[in-house]
Structure 1
Amino acid sequence: MNEMIVTKRQELYPEEKAMPLAKYYYNYPMHYPEEEEMQIINEENPMDPADAIRPENFLDLLKPTGYDKVELGYCMFEDGSGYVATYRVRPSHITDEMERWYRNWRNLRSKGMIPGHGNLRYKIWNPADHFDHYYINWIDGSLGIHTTESLDLGEGDRKYDTIRHQFDLMEYGLTKERLDELKAAGCSVTGKGSFETFDEPGTHLCLAYSRPCPSGGVETRSREWIGWRPVNGKLVRDEKTKCSLEYLKKVVIHTLIEWEHLNTFLPDLYAEYKDQPIDAD
Protein backbone atom coordinates (compact mmCIF):
# COMPACT_ATOMS: atom_id res chain seq x y z
CA MET A 1 0.00 0.00 0.00
CA ASN A 2 1.14 3.54 -0.75
CA GLU A 3 2.47 5.13 2.44
CA MET A 4 1.47 8.64 1.37
CA ILE A 5 -1.47 9.54 3.61
CA VAL A 6 -4.25 12.01 2.85
CA THR A 7 -3.92 14.25 5.88
CA LYS A 8 -6.81 16.66 5.33
CA ARG A 9 -10.24 15.76 6.62
CA GLN A 10 -13.42 17.73 7.19
CA GLU A 11 -14.21 18.82 10.74
CA LEU A 12 -16.98 16.80 12.35
CA TYR A 13 -19.77 18.33 14.39
CA PRO A 14 -19.52 17.79 18.18
CA GLU A 15 -22.53 15.45 18.04
CA GLU A 16 -20.77 13.32 15.42
CA LYS A 17 -17.53 13.20 17.38
CA ALA A 18 -19.46 11.75 20.33
CA MET A 19 -20.85 8.84 18.29
CA PRO A 20 -19.20 5.40 18.52
CA LEU A 21 -19.02 5.48 14.70
CA ALA A 22 -16.55 8.39 14.81
CA LYS A 23 -13.62 6.05 15.44
CA TYR A 24 -13.92 4.88 11.82
CA TYR A 25 -13.49 8.48 10.76
CA TYR A 26 -10.32 9.10 12.74
CA ASN A 27 -8.56 5.77 13.28
CA TYR A 28 -8.11 4.50 9.71
CA PRO A 29 -5.58 6.48 7.61
CA MET A 30 -6.55 7.14 4.01
CA HIS A 31 -3.81 6.60 1.42
CA TYR A 32 -3.08 8.01 -2.01
CA PRO A 33 -3.15 5.59 -4.97
CA GLU A 34 -0.16 3.36 -5.62
CA GLU A 35 2.88 4.89 -7.33
CA GLU A 36 2.21 2.97 -10.55
CA GLU A 37 -1.36 4.27 -10.64
CA MET A 38 -0.26 7.85 -10.02
CA GLN A 39 2.26 7.64 -12.84
CA ILE A 40 -0.57 6.81 -15.22
CA ILE A 41 -2.88 9.47 -13.78
CA ASN A 42 -0.21 12.19 -13.95
CA GLU A 43 0.65 11.64 -17.61
CA GLU A 44 0.08 14.77 -19.71
CA ASN A 45 -2.13 12.67 -21.98
CA PRO A 46 -3.18 9.77 -19.75
CA MET A 47 -4.90 7.89 -22.59
CA ASP A 48 -5.60 8.08 -26.31
CA PRO A 49 -9.31 8.69 -27.03
CA ALA A 50 -9.01 5.97 -29.67
CA ASP A 51 -8.57 3.48 -26.80
CA ALA A 52 -11.74 4.60 -25.02
CA ILE A 53 -15.15 2.98 -25.34
CA ARG A 54 -17.25 5.39 -27.37
CA PRO A 55 -20.50 6.50 -25.72
CA GLU A 56 -22.64 4.80 -28.35
CA ASN A 57 -20.82 1.53 -27.59
CA PHE A 58 -21.00 1.84 -23.79
CA LEU A 59 -22.30 -1.72 -23.38
CA ASP A 60 -18.98 -3.00 -24.78
CA LEU A 61 -17.68 -2.67 -21.22
CA LEU A 62 -19.73 -5.70 -20.18
CA LYS A 63 -17.81 -8.84 -21.06
CA PRO A 64 -17.23 -12.05 -19.10
CA THR A 65 -13.46 -12.07 -19.65
CA GLY A 66 -10.77 -9.87 -21.12
CA TYR A 67 -9.82 -6.23 -20.75
CA ASP A 68 -9.71 -3.00 -22.72
CA LYS A 69 -6.36 -1.60 -23.81
CA VAL A 70 -6.76 1.00 -21.04
CA GLU A 71 -8.38 0.04 -17.73
CA LEU A 72 -7.20 3.10 -15.79
CA GLY A 73 -7.17 6.52 -17.43
CA TYR A 74 -9.15 9.46 -18.69
CA CYS A 75 -9.45 11.60 -21.82
CA MET A 76 -11.50 14.21 -23.63
CA PHE A 77 -13.38 13.33 -26.81
CA GLU A 78 -13.30 15.67 -29.81
CA ASP A 79 -16.81 16.94 -29.03
CA GLY A 80 -15.81 18.18 -25.55
CA SER A 81 -17.29 15.27 -23.61
CA GLY A 82 -15.13 13.19 -21.30
CA TYR A 83 -14.27 9.61 -20.42
CA VAL A 84 -13.08 8.00 -17.19
CA ALA A 85 -11.89 4.41 -16.81
CA THR A 86 -11.17 2.97 -13.36
CA TYR A 87 -10.28 -0.51 -12.19
CA ARG A 88 -10.07 -1.91 -8.68
CA VAL A 89 -9.64 -5.29 -7.05
CA ARG A 90 -11.55 -6.07 -3.88
CA PRO A 91 -9.46 -8.43 -1.75
CA SER A 92 -10.91 -11.81 -0.89
CA HIS A 93 -11.45 -10.96 2.80
CA ILE A 94 -14.02 -8.31 1.72
CA THR A 95 -17.16 -10.30 0.90
CA ASP A 96 -20.03 -9.46 -1.42
CA GLU A 97 -22.32 -9.34 1.60
CA MET A 98 -20.12 -6.76 3.36
CA GLU A 99 -20.15 -4.42 0.37
CA ARG A 100 -23.88 -4.86 -0.31
CA TRP A 101 -24.59 -4.12 3.34
CA TYR A 102 -22.53 -0.94 3.31
CA ARG A 103 -24.03 0.31 0.05
CA ASN A 104 -27.45 0.25 1.74
CA TRP A 105 -26.37 1.28 5.26
CA ARG A 106 -24.55 4.43 4.06
CA ASN A 107 -27.86 5.81 2.69
CA LEU A 108 -29.67 5.67 6.04
CA ARG A 109 -29.25 8.03 8.98
CA SER A 110 -28.70 6.93 12.56
CA LYS A 111 -30.89 8.18 15.37
CA GLY A 112 -28.30 10.65 16.65
CA MET A 113 -27.57 12.37 13.34
CA ILE A 114 -28.88 15.93 13.11
CA PRO A 115 -30.55 17.22 9.91
CA GLY A 116 -28.15 19.53 8.11
CA HIS A 117 -25.03 17.84 9.48
CA GLY A 118 -24.76 15.29 6.69
CA ASN A 119 -24.29 11.54 7.08
CA LEU A 120 -21.36 10.25 9.15
CA ARG A 121 -21.86 6.78 7.66
CA TYR A 122 -20.84 8.27 4.32
CA LYS A 123 -18.20 10.62 5.69
CA ILE A 124 -16.12 7.72 7.03
CA TRP A 125 -15.71 6.43 3.46
CA ASN A 126 -13.69 9.51 2.45
CA PRO A 127 -13.10 11.94 5.35
CA ALA A 128 -11.58 14.54 3.02
CA ASP A 129 -14.42 14.80 0.51
CA HIS A 130 -17.65 13.17 1.69
CA PHE A 131 -20.53 15.01 3.33
CA ASP A 132 -23.96 13.49 2.72
CA HIS A 133 -25.58 10.44 1.12
CA TYR A 134 -29.19 9.28 1.23
CA TYR A 135 -32.03 7.63 -0.64
CA ILE A 136 -34.33 10.26 -2.11
CA ASN A 137 -37.33 8.33 -0.74
CA TRP A 138 -35.44 7.25 2.45
CA ILE A 139 -36.23 3.59 1.60
CA ASP A 140 -34.32 2.46 -1.50
CA GLY A 141 -32.68 3.75 -4.65
CA SER A 142 -35.72 3.54 -6.92
CA LEU A 143 -36.20 7.34 -6.98
CA GLY A 144 -32.49 8.12 -6.96
CA ILE A 145 -29.65 8.57 -4.48
CA HIS A 146 -28.47 12.00 -3.36
CA THR A 147 -24.78 12.67 -2.73
CA THR A 148 -22.90 15.72 -1.47
CA GLU A 149 -19.15 15.54 -1.99
CA SER A 150 -16.10 17.43 -3.18
CA LEU A 151 -13.41 15.93 -5.40
CA ASP A 152 -10.09 17.46 -4.41
CA LEU A 153 -9.24 15.71 -1.13
CA GLY A 154 -10.08 18.62 1.12
CA GLU A 155 -8.21 21.32 -0.78
CA GLY A 156 -11.17 23.70 -0.88
CA ASP A 157 -13.03 22.66 -4.04
CA ARG A 158 -16.77 23.26 -3.91
CA LYS A 159 -19.28 20.65 -2.81
CA TYR A 160 -21.22 18.97 -5.62
CA ASP A 161 -24.81 17.91 -5.05
CA THR A 162 -25.51 14.88 -7.22
CA ILE A 163 -28.48 12.61 -7.81
CA ARG A 164 -27.80 9.18 -9.27
CA HIS A 165 -30.67 7.70 -11.27
CA GLN A 166 -31.08 4.12 -12.50
CA PHE A 167 -32.12 3.07 -15.99
CA ASP A 168 -32.84 -0.25 -17.68
CA LEU A 169 -30.01 -1.49 -19.90
CA MET A 170 -32.44 -3.73 -21.75
CA GLU A 171 -33.89 -0.57 -23.32
CA TYR A 172 -30.44 0.33 -24.67
CA GLY A 173 -29.39 -2.93 -26.32
CA LEU A 174 -28.53 -5.38 -23.56
CA THR A 175 -30.15 -8.72 -24.35
CA LYS A 176 -31.29 -11.42 -21.95
CA GLU A 177 -28.88 -13.85 -23.60
CA ARG A 178 -25.92 -11.56 -22.99
CA LEU A 179 -27.01 -10.91 -19.41
CA ASP A 180 -27.31 -14.66 -18.79
CA GLU A 181 -23.83 -15.19 -20.28
CA LEU A 182 -22.34 -12.62 -17.92
CA LYS A 183 -24.05 -14.11 -14.89
CA ALA A 184 -22.95 -17.63 -15.87
CA ALA A 185 -19.36 -16.37 -15.91
CA GLY A 186 -19.72 -15.13 -12.33
CA CYS A 187 -20.19 -11.45 -13.19
CA SER A 188 -22.21 -9.31 -10.82
CA VAL A 189 -24.66 -7.51 -13.11
CA THR A 190 -28.22 -6.35 -12.49
CA GLY A 191 -29.29 -5.16 -15.92
CA LYS A 192 -29.26 -1.58 -14.61
CA GLY A 193 -27.06 1.36 -15.49
CA SER A 194 -27.07 4.80 -13.94
CA PHE A 195 -26.66 8.45 -14.79
CA GLU A 196 -25.92 11.44 -12.60
CA THR A 197 -27.42 14.91 -12.59
CA PHE A 198 -26.10 17.82 -10.57
CA ASP A 199 -26.77 21.17 -8.92
CA GLU A 200 -25.67 22.67 -12.24
CA PRO A 201 -26.52 21.68 -15.83
CA GLY A 202 -24.95 18.44 -17.01
CA THR A 203 -25.14 14.64 -17.00
CA HIS A 204 -22.73 11.74 -16.52
CA LEU A 205 -23.48 8.26 -17.86
CA CYS A 206 -22.12 5.54 -15.54
CA LEU A 207 -21.62 1.81 -15.92
CA ALA A 208 -19.76 -0.70 -13.76
CA TYR A 209 -19.79 -4.39 -12.97
CA SER A 210 -17.75 -6.90 -10.98
CA ARG A 211 -16.40 -10.36 -11.74
CA PRO A 212 -13.93 -12.85 -10.26
CA CYS A 213 -10.34 -11.62 -10.60
CA PRO A 214 -7.93 -14.21 -12.09
CA SER A 215 -5.38 -13.44 -9.35
CA GLY A 216 -7.94 -13.64 -6.53
CA GLY A 217 -10.65 -11.45 -5.09
CA VAL A 218 -13.16 -9.55 -7.18
CA GLU A 219 -12.36 -6.97 -9.86
CA THR A 220 -14.61 -4.05 -10.73
CA ARG A 221 -14.42 -2.38 -14.14
CA SER A 222 -16.06 1.04 -14.14
CA ARG A 223 -16.56 3.75 -16.77
CA GLU A 224 -18.09 7.24 -16.94
CA TRP A 225 -19.02 9.20 -20.03
CA ILE A 226 -19.16 12.85 -18.98
CA GLY A 227 -21.70 14.81 -21.02
CA TRP A 228 -24.02 11.96 -22.03
CA ARG A 229 -27.43 10.86 -20.81
CA PRO A 230 -29.91 8.08 -21.65
CA VAL A 231 -33.23 9.31 -23.09
CA ASN A 232 -35.99 7.02 -24.40
CA GLY A 233 -33.67 4.22 -25.53
CA LYS A 234 -30.96 6.45 -27.00
CA LEU A 235 -27.86 8.18 -25.65
CA VAL A 236 -28.04 11.95 -26.03
CA ARG A 237 -25.15 14.40 -25.84
CA ASP A 238 -25.68 16.87 -23.00
CA GLU A 239 -23.63 19.82 -24.21
CA LYS A 240 -24.23 21.85 -21.03
CA THR A 241 -22.00 19.46 -19.06
CA LYS A 242 -18.73 21.02 -17.89
CA CYS A 243 -15.63 18.90 -18.51
CA SER A 244 -11.86 19.32 -18.48
CA LEU A 245 -8.81 17.10 -18.09
CA GLU A 246 -8.24 18.62 -14.65
CA TYR A 247 -11.74 17.62 -13.55
CA LEU A 248 -11.40 14.08 -14.94
CA LYS A 249 -8.12 13.62 -13.09
CA LYS A 250 -9.82 14.59 -9.82
CA VAL A 251 -12.56 12.03 -10.44
CA VAL A 252 -10.05 9.22 -11.02
CA ILE A 253 -7.94 9.98 -7.94
CA HIS A 254 -11.00 10.44 -5.71
CA THR A 255 -12.49 7.15 -6.91
CA LEU A 256 -9.34 5.08 -6.43
CA ILE A 257 -8.70 6.48 -2.95
CA GLU A 258 -12.20 5.96 -1.57
CA TRP A 259 -12.54 2.35 -2.71
CA GLU A 260 -9.13 1.40 -1.36
CA HIS A 261 -9.99 3.13 1.90
CA LEU A 262 -13.24 1.20 2.25
CA ASN A 263 -11.25 -2.02 2.31
CA THR A 264 -9.31 -0.84 5.38
CA PHE A 265 -12.27 -0.39 7.73
CA LEU A 266 -15.19 -2.34 6.27
CA PRO A 267 -14.49 -5.70 8.00
CA ASP A 268 -14.40 -4.03 11.43
CA LEU A 269 -17.41 -1.83 10.67
CA TYR A 270 -19.47 -4.77 9.39
CA ALA A 271 -18.63 -6.92 12.39
CA GLU A 272 -19.68 -4.15 14.80
CA TYR A 273 -22.84 -2.87 13.11
CA LYS A 274 -24.36 -5.61 10.95
CA ASP A 275 -26.49 -7.00 13.79
CA GLN A 276 -27.30 -3.69 15.44
CA PRO A 277 -30.55 -1.78 14.80
CA ILE A 278 -30.47 0.01 11.46
CA ASP A 279 -30.51 3.40 13.23
CA ALA A 280 -27.61 2.65 15.60
CA ASP A 281 -25.09 5.45 16.15
Structure 2
Amino acid sequence: MPDIRLVPCLADNYAVIVREGDTVMLVDAPEAGPIREQLKADGWRLTHILITHKHDDHIAGIPELAAEYSPIIVGPEAEQDKIPGLTRTVREGDKVEVGPMVADVYETPGHTSGHVSFHFPKEKLLFSGDTLFALGCGRLFEGSPAQMWHSLSKLRALPDDTSVYCGHEYTLSNARFAITVDPHNKALQERAADIARARDAGQPTIPFQLGLDKATSPFLRADDPAVATGVGTPGASPETVFAEVRERKNNF
Protein backbone atom coordinates (compact mmCIF):
# COMPACT_ATOMS: atom_id res chain seq x y z
CA MET A 1 0.00 0.00 0.00
CA PRO A 2 1.14 3.56 -0.65
CA ASP A 3 2.27 5.96 2.06
CA ILE A 4 -0.43 8.55 2.73
CA ARG A 5 -0.31 11.88 4.54
CA LEU A 6 -3.43 13.83 5.49
CA VAL A 7 -2.52 17.53 5.50
CA PRO A 8 -4.79 20.02 7.33
CA CYS A 9 -5.05 23.33 5.47
CA LEU A 10 -6.89 26.61 5.99
CA ALA A 11 -9.67 26.42 8.61
CA ASP A 12 -11.04 22.93 7.93
CA ASN A 13 -9.71 21.72 4.57
CA TYR A 14 -7.68 18.60 3.89
CA ALA A 15 -5.12 17.93 1.21
CA VAL A 16 -3.83 14.39 0.75
CA ILE A 17 -0.34 13.34 -0.30
CA VAL A 18 0.16 9.79 -1.58
CA ARG A 19 3.55 8.24 -2.31
CA GLU A 20 4.05 5.03 -4.24
CA GLY A 21 7.67 4.39 -5.17
CA ASP A 22 9.08 7.49 -6.83
CA THR A 23 5.62 8.90 -7.49
CA VAL A 24 4.22 11.53 -5.13
CA MET A 25 0.65 12.62 -5.74
CA LEU A 26 -1.26 15.49 -4.14
CA VAL A 27 -5.05 15.57 -4.17
CA ASP A 28 -6.32 19.16 -4.08
CA ALA A 29 -4.19 22.15 -3.14
CA PRO A 30 -5.93 24.47 -0.65
CA GLU A 31 -2.70 26.31 0.22
CA ALA A 32 0.95 25.68 -0.56
CA GLY A 33 2.58 26.18 2.85
CA PRO A 34 1.41 23.12 4.85
CA ILE A 35 1.75 20.89 1.79
CA ARG A 36 5.32 22.00 1.15
CA GLU A 37 6.19 21.52 4.82
CA GLN A 38 4.88 17.95 4.75
CA LEU A 39 6.74 17.14 1.54
CA LYS A 40 9.99 18.47 3.00
CA ALA A 41 9.49 16.63 6.29
CA ASP A 42 9.18 13.36 4.37
CA GLY A 43 11.86 14.17 1.80
CA TRP A 44 9.38 13.68 -1.05
CA ARG A 45 9.26 15.49 -4.40
CA LEU A 46 5.81 16.19 -5.80
CA THR A 47 5.18 14.60 -9.23
CA HIS A 48 1.38 14.84 -9.68
CA ILE A 49 -1.54 16.98 -8.54
CA LEU A 50 -5.14 15.78 -8.92
CA ILE A 51 -7.84 18.45 -8.60
CA THR A 52 -11.48 17.62 -7.88
CA HIS A 53 -13.08 21.01 -8.58
CA LYS A 54 -12.58 24.71 -9.17
CA HIS A 55 -13.24 26.28 -5.76
CA ASP A 56 -10.42 28.43 -4.46
CA ASP A 57 -10.01 26.41 -1.26
CA HIS A 58 -9.01 23.45 -3.45
CA ILE A 59 -6.80 25.18 -6.01
CA ALA A 60 -5.14 28.22 -4.39
CA GLY A 61 -1.87 26.38 -3.78
CA ILE A 62 -1.41 25.22 -7.38
CA PRO A 63 0.68 28.12 -8.77
CA GLU A 64 3.26 28.04 -5.98
CA LEU A 65 3.57 24.25 -5.96
CA ALA A 66 3.71 24.12 -9.77
CA ALA A 67 6.53 26.68 -9.83
CA GLU A 68 8.57 24.68 -7.31
CA TYR A 69 7.96 21.09 -8.46
CA SER A 70 6.65 21.22 -12.08
CA PRO A 71 4.18 18.36 -11.49
CA ILE A 72 1.65 16.88 -13.87
CA ILE A 73 -1.65 18.57 -12.94
CA VAL A 74 -4.93 16.80 -13.69
CA GLY A 75 -8.41 18.27 -13.30
CA PRO A 76 -11.96 18.28 -14.63
CA GLU A 77 -12.42 19.13 -18.28
CA ALA A 78 -15.64 21.00 -17.54
CA GLU A 79 -13.85 23.43 -15.21
CA GLN A 80 -10.50 23.77 -16.99
CA ASP A 81 -10.94 27.51 -17.53
CA LYS A 82 -11.27 28.04 -13.76
CA ILE A 83 -8.27 25.96 -12.63
CA PRO A 84 -4.73 27.27 -13.20
CA GLY A 85 -1.92 25.18 -14.62
CA LEU A 86 -3.74 22.03 -15.72
CA THR A 87 -1.61 19.81 -17.94
CA ARG A 88 -4.39 17.25 -18.51
CA THR A 89 -8.18 17.39 -18.32
CA VAL A 90 -10.41 14.42 -17.55
CA ARG A 91 -14.06 13.42 -17.76
CA GLU A 92 -16.32 10.49 -16.91
CA GLY A 93 -14.75 7.13 -17.74
CA ASP A 94 -11.18 8.37 -18.13
CA LYS A 95 -8.29 6.66 -16.38
CA VAL A 96 -5.40 8.52 -14.79
CA GLU A 97 -2.03 6.79 -14.44
CA VAL A 98 -0.10 8.10 -11.46
CA GLY A 99 3.12 6.10 -11.50
CA PRO A 100 2.09 2.51 -10.73
CA MET A 101 -1.38 3.60 -9.57
CA VAL A 102 -4.39 3.96 -11.87
CA ALA A 103 -7.52 5.98 -11.04
CA ASP A 104 -10.98 5.78 -12.56
CA VAL A 105 -12.57 9.20 -13.05
CA TYR A 106 -16.19 9.79 -12.07
CA GLU A 107 -18.04 12.97 -12.91
CA THR A 108 -19.84 13.87 -9.67
CA PRO A 109 -21.59 17.21 -10.22
CA GLY A 110 -23.84 18.89 -7.69
CA HIS A 111 -21.50 20.93 -5.53
CA THR A 112 -20.08 22.37 -8.74
CA SER A 113 -21.19 21.52 -12.24
CA GLY A 114 -17.87 19.98 -13.26
CA HIS A 115 -16.74 18.24 -10.07
CA VAL A 116 -14.90 14.91 -10.48
CA SER A 117 -13.90 12.18 -8.04
CA PHE A 118 -10.93 9.82 -8.36
CA HIS A 119 -11.18 6.12 -7.44
CA PHE A 120 -8.08 3.92 -7.23
CA PRO A 121 -9.57 0.40 -7.19
CA LYS A 122 -6.35 -1.53 -6.56
CA GLU A 123 -5.42 0.66 -3.60
CA LYS A 124 -9.08 0.89 -2.46
CA LEU A 125 -8.92 4.68 -2.26
CA LEU A 126 -11.55 7.26 -3.18
CA PHE A 127 -10.88 10.99 -3.32
CA SER A 128 -14.31 12.58 -3.29
CA GLY A 129 -13.51 16.27 -2.88
CA ASP A 130 -16.66 18.10 -1.80
CA THR A 131 -19.16 15.62 -3.24
CA LEU A 132 -19.12 13.01 -0.48
CA PHE A 133 -18.17 13.88 3.09
CA ALA A 134 -18.19 11.60 6.12
CA LEU A 135 -21.91 11.52 6.98
CA GLY A 136 -22.58 14.34 4.53
CA CYS A 137 -22.26 15.88 1.11
CA GLY A 138 -21.37 19.26 -0.34
CA ARG A 139 -23.80 22.13 -0.63
CA LEU A 140 -25.55 22.36 -3.99
CA PHE A 141 -24.00 25.53 -5.33
CA GLU A 142 -24.45 24.64 -9.00
CA GLY A 143 -26.45 21.43 -9.19
CA SER A 144 -29.89 20.08 -8.40
CA PRO A 145 -30.76 17.59 -5.64
CA ALA A 146 -31.46 14.95 -8.30
CA GLN A 147 -28.05 15.56 -9.85
CA MET A 148 -26.25 15.24 -6.52
CA TRP A 149 -28.20 12.12 -5.61
CA HIS A 150 -27.08 10.59 -8.91
CA SER A 151 -23.46 11.54 -8.16
CA LEU A 152 -23.62 10.07 -4.67
CA SER A 153 -25.25 6.91 -6.02
CA LYS A 154 -22.24 6.39 -8.30
CA LEU A 155 -19.87 6.58 -5.35
CA ARG A 156 -22.13 4.47 -3.13
CA ALA A 157 -21.82 1.64 -5.66
CA LEU A 158 -18.08 1.32 -4.97
CA PRO A 159 -16.86 -1.46 -2.63
CA ASP A 160 -17.54 -1.17 1.10
CA ASP A 161 -13.84 -1.48 1.98
CA THR A 162 -12.96 1.68 0.05
CA SER A 163 -11.15 4.28 2.17
CA VAL A 164 -12.61 7.71 1.44
CA TYR A 165 -10.65 10.95 1.64
CA CYS A 166 -12.80 14.06 1.36
CA GLY A 167 -12.05 17.76 1.33
CA HIS A 168 -13.19 18.97 4.75
CA GLU A 169 -13.44 18.11 8.45
CA TYR A 170 -17.20 18.51 8.82
CA THR A 171 -17.89 15.16 10.41
CA LEU A 172 -18.89 16.17 13.94
CA SER A 173 -21.56 18.57 12.70
CA ASN A 174 -22.70 16.01 10.13
CA ALA A 175 -23.05 13.36 12.84
CA ARG A 176 -25.12 15.63 15.04
CA PHE A 177 -27.40 16.38 12.13
CA ALA A 178 -27.68 12.74 10.99
CA ILE A 179 -29.02 11.68 14.37
CA THR A 180 -31.86 14.20 14.09
CA VAL A 181 -33.22 12.45 10.99
CA ASP A 182 -32.22 8.85 11.82
CA PRO A 183 -32.39 8.67 15.64
CA HIS A 184 -32.94 4.90 15.91
CA ASN A 185 -29.89 3.85 13.86
CA LYS A 186 -27.60 2.09 16.37
CA ALA A 187 -24.65 2.04 13.97
CA LEU A 188 -25.01 5.80 13.59
CA GLN A 189 -25.19 6.30 17.35
CA GLU A 190 -21.98 4.33 17.84
CA ARG A 191 -20.24 6.16 15.02
CA ALA A 192 -21.30 9.55 16.37
CA ALA A 193 -19.81 8.67 19.75
CA ASP A 194 -16.55 7.60 18.11
CA ILE A 195 -16.44 10.83 16.12
CA ALA A 196 -17.00 12.96 19.22
CA ARG A 197 -14.16 11.17 21.02
CA ALA A 198 -11.82 11.62 18.05
CA ARG A 199 -12.52 15.32 17.73
CA ASP A 200 -12.19 15.86 21.48
CA ALA A 201 -8.72 14.32 21.16
CA GLY A 202 -7.86 16.56 18.22
CA GLN A 203 -7.82 13.62 15.80
CA PRO A 204 -9.15 13.70 12.21
CA THR A 205 -12.17 11.68 11.18
CA ILE A 206 -10.77 11.20 7.66
CA PRO A 207 -10.40 8.73 6.01
CA PHE A 208 -13.57 6.75 6.59
CA GLN A 209 -14.80 3.44 5.25
CA LEU A 210 -17.41 3.72 2.54
CA GLY A 211 -19.35 0.75 3.89
CA LEU A 212 -19.78 2.47 7.25
CA ASP A 213 -21.07 5.58 5.52
CA LYS A 214 -23.55 3.50 3.52
CA ALA A 215 -24.95 2.21 6.81
CA THR A 216 -25.04 5.51 8.68
CA SER A 217 -25.24 8.54 6.37
CA PRO A 218 -28.72 9.85 5.54
CA PHE A 219 -27.24 11.39 2.40
CA LEU A 220 -26.42 7.91 1.04
CA ARG A 221 -29.71 6.41 2.26
CA ALA A 222 -32.35 8.61 0.67
CA ASP A 223 -33.90 5.39 -0.67
CA ASP A 224 -34.18 3.93 2.86
CA PRO A 225 -37.73 4.14 4.28
CA ALA A 226 -36.31 5.00 7.72
CA VAL A 227 -34.67 8.16 6.36
CA ALA A 228 -37.76 9.09 4.34
CA THR A 229 -39.88 8.79 7.47
CA GLY A 230 -37.29 10.69 9.49
CA VAL A 231 -37.63 13.76 7.27
CA GLY A 232 -41.40 13.54 6.93
CA THR A 233 -41.52 12.25 3.35
CA PRO A 234 -42.61 8.59 3.67
CA GLY A 235 -43.07 6.91 0.29
CA ALA A 236 -41.43 9.75 -1.64
CA SER A 237 -38.83 9.23 -4.37
CA PRO A 238 -35.16 9.10 -3.32
CA GLU A 239 -34.59 12.41 -5.11
CA THR A 240 -37.35 14.05 -3.07
CA VAL A 241 -36.09 12.56 0.18
CA PHE A 242 -32.52 13.62 -0.60
CA ALA A 243 -33.67 17.16 -1.37
CA GLU A 244 -35.37 17.35 2.03
CA VAL A 245 -32.33 15.94 3.84
CA ARG A 246 -30.05 18.46 2.13
CA GLU A 247 -32.39 21.37 2.87
CA ARG A 248 -32.60 20.41 6.53
CA LYS A 249 -28.83 20.25 6.76
CA ASN A 250 -28.61 23.69 5.15
CA ASN A 251 -30.67 25.04 8.03
CA PHE A 252 -29.19 22.91 10.81
TM value normalised by structure 1: 0.25
Which protein shows a greater Rg?
A: 1
